[in-house]
Structure 1
Amino acid sequence: MATSIISREQGLMLNQSDSSELLQAGITQKALHRIIEQYPHDLSTPELRAYITRSVNSVTPVLSNASKDISYPLDRFSNGNNLINLFEQDSNQTYQETIAALRRSIDLQPRNPAGGLWYFVYPEWSYLDGMYSFAPFYTLYANVYSKGETATASINDVLYQLDLLWQHCYNNATDLLVHGYDYSKTAVWANPITGGSPHVWGRSLGWYMMALADILELSPHLVDVQQKFQKLSAAVVRAADPASGAWWQILDQPGREGNYIESSGSAMFVYALFKGSRMGYLPHYENAAARAYEYIVQNFVVDNGNGTLGYNRTVAVCSLNSTASYAYYIGQPILYNSVLGSGSFVMASLEYELYTAKFEQKHGKD
């Protein structure tokens, strides 16, 4: 799937006016980097390294100005981790300047009166989505470049952003988190008490779940993140569709007419559950993750017949700049070969391979 993504030239910022390409580039970089980490001596490694560099180089002209960076969604930070990785390898000054601009943009980013980061340009609105990009970048930056009180302040800001979303988006009935919140509570969809949006969108929750897993990989000692990860993972496992083991587009409306099993959020949950289990935080969810992964392979992965693989049933962008109604979420286009789905699938596959290798070592291939 990774080489298929490369063959389609996905994950490159070819249109500098399309901010959605920042996230596509970031998740592509992260997926390819994880392959290199897991299989450093594979014959594909040089090709993957070269493509990561090409992807990073495509975004640096866009992200090198901190003042301009805040006009983009928090998704921009998805490119930060591989900017740091590449800079640590070759001390490229352009990378250093872009990393510095991204870091400075955190200080410039608009915040609501409680200190919550705006996800994009919509005043007072915070989304789960942005945490996958923001939190692992800021955590890695603090670990590599900050010391003492500065590092502590950075990590505390990460924890605070996660916590604000939890406070405003948590649903007591399901233990799941809705898509986002409006601090001003003036949006047409805002809960009058919490400001939260009305529905649990699978992919937004998937971004948040992957963020928790990736933060714990970088900073395993963060007890608050561990607790959120464990509680949310248990709720996600409970929310899986009993028939398929995978997850609905709208998790709080299982089986409702028009709802469907969605491929990007499902892959994200598989990744997070497997990774959490591997790291020792979620010891009981491997079977649930494996069942969902096998459903994904059977139903969403497509042999294109030309040596490449496709990935189907990934919903297009769902924004809170909408009615945020059930009809809105189920009415958004379904895409073929969206890299938000296929990139998540690559990362889920890597965790599945670690799981099966461990299982075979313990039980034998039979």
Structure 2
Amino acid sequence: MTPRYFKEYLARYTYAKDGSWCYEDGCVYRGLALLHDQQPQEIWRDELLRLIGPQVGEDGALAGYTQDEFNIDHILAGRVLFFLEKAAPGAHWSLAIEHLAGQLTRHPRTAGGNYWHKKRYPQQVWLDGLYMGLPFQIEYGLSRNKPEMVEDALAQLNRALDLTHVAATGLYAHAIDEARAQDWADPQTGLSRAHWARALGWLAMALVDVTGLIGPEKAASSGLAERASALLTRITALARPQSGLWLQVIDQPELPGNYEESSASAMFAYALMKGARLGLGGQFAAPGLKALASLETTQLYAGDDGIVRLQNVCEMAGLGGFGGRVRDGSPAYYLSEPLRPDDHKGTGALMMAYAERLASASAEARRAAS
């Protein structure tokens, strides 16, 4: 059923921002690349080319993108360009990569050295941004023989983990304002208040993707493997006992109105299965598989129009003023954001998780045969 859902979703696909380069489309693009890696005989690469083709000019220019916006989110979709350099060679993919890498060389940083989340969010580091920018930077550094970019990204990741860790919960705050100037930030620590599941989902995916890029030995020596394993252990403990999914405000099961959120659950399923495959802990495979199966059986269903969609996806959440709203980072705020079936972030993450289940099964079969 799930591959059929993906194909039907792609047939009715609409760009997240009217065709402008953005991270939301990038989530789906990454899912398609990972699906192609596991099922090269399927349509996934062709669908990716159909969608991304109009967004990348022959000179590598990206539709609607300008470096000077300094939005770290825009980097994420660039990860698929490394895949396309090999799967559908063309100079324009490489030129587009250089445009995005050029942003990173100029992107504003905090006093500690981390990228601002966006130009309009100065001095702020969000968990979302760690996934949006740093795996791309590492892949760029590895593919272009620029080890200093790899080391810088690893330093940023470790520094962000130091800054956002909340010892009392064993989790990480959604964001930190190093200037202590935002209303949502604790005046002493600079941290936001509540633990939003999708922010932690971005982080979990960043940690396992970086581990996959740099390899287990470097992940261990840099301390990232230990931190990834600790986070995945904590995430596993917070899964809902019956469904195996995770709540929107992940550590507050008694909070009225809290609900099982599909995009974060797909991200955790992906991270847990991949973490197990990469050697971060074999115990993570079962909860990852359970979560994906639960999403397939309980969150993929038809609405009144008869179309099967991925349900219970939070459309967006953030911090600070946006669109006339005050986003204060409270648990109540995260529950106030609307749900959007088939949101790109949810379906993209579901594609990643489905592809990872295939990758993990293939790896297990190879081990059994050796």
The question of whether the paired residues in 2 share the 8 Å contact of 1:139 and 1:155 is answered with: yes
Q: 1:345 to 1:58 in 2, by over 3 A?
A: farther
2:291 equivalent to 1:292: yes
Deviation at 1:259?
A: 1.0
How far apart are the structure 2 equivalents of 1:41 and 1:139?
29
Q: Which runs of 5+ in 2 are unaligned?
A: 321-326
Greater shift in the superposed pair: 112-121 or 303-312:
303-312
Please name the residue that 1:106 is paired with. Answer: 104
State the identity %.
25
Please name the residue that 1:144 is paired with. Answer: 143
- Counterpart amino acid of residue 81 in structure 2: L
Please name the residue that 1:238 is paired with. Answer: 237
Please name the residue that 1:222 is paired with. Answer: 219
Q: Which runs of 5+ in 1 are unaligned?
A: none
How far apart are the structure 1 equivalents of 2:239 and 2:89?
45
Deviation at 1:357?
A: 6.3
Greater shift in the superposed pair: 322-331 or 1-10:
1-10
Deviation at 1:86?
A: 2.4
* Structure 2 SS opposite 1:187: coil
Q: 1:317 to 1:13 in 2, by over 3 A?
A: closer
How far apart are the structure 2 equivalents of 1:361 and 1:99?
34
Deviation at 1:276?
A: 0.8
How far apart are the structure 1 equivalents of 2:306 and 2:357?
22
Spell out the pairing of 1:326-341 with structure 2 (5 A cutoff). 326-341=331-346
The question of whether the paired residues in 2 share the 8 Å contact of 1:11 and 1:26 is answered with: no
Q: TM-score, normalised by structure 2?
A: 0.87
The question of whether the paired residues in 1 share the 8 Å contact of 2:299 and 2:311 is answered with: yes
Please name the residue that 1:157 is paired with. Answer: 152
- Counterpart amino acid of residue 328 in structure 2: T
The question of whether the paired residues in 1 share the 8 Å contact of 2:78 and 2:97 is answered with: yes
Spell out the pairing of 1:192-271 with structure 2 (5 A cutoff). 192-220=187-215, 221-223=218-220, 224-271=223-270
* Structure 2 SS opposite 1:126: strand
How far apart are the structure 1 equivalents of 2:298 and 2:311?
8
How far apart are the structure 2 equivalents of 1:361 and 1:218?
21
Deviation at 1:193?
A: 3.0
- Structure 1 residue ranges, 4+ long, deviating more than 4 angstroms after superposition: 88-91, 303-308, 354-363
Deviation at 1:343?
A: 1.0
How far apart are the structure 1 equivalents of 2:64 and 2:339?
33
Considering only aligned residues, what root-mean-square deviation do their CA atoms show, in Å?
2.7
Spell out the pairing of 1:69-148 with structure 2 (5 A cutoff). 69-88=67-86, 92-120=90-118, 121-146=120-145
Q: 1:285 to 1:88 in 2, by over 3 A?
A: closer
Q: TM-score, normalised by structure 1?
A: 0.87
2:329 equivalent to 1:324: yes
Greater shift in the superposed pair: 31-40 or 277-286:
277-286
Deviation at 1:105?
A: 0.8
Match of 1:180 among 171, 175, 178: 175
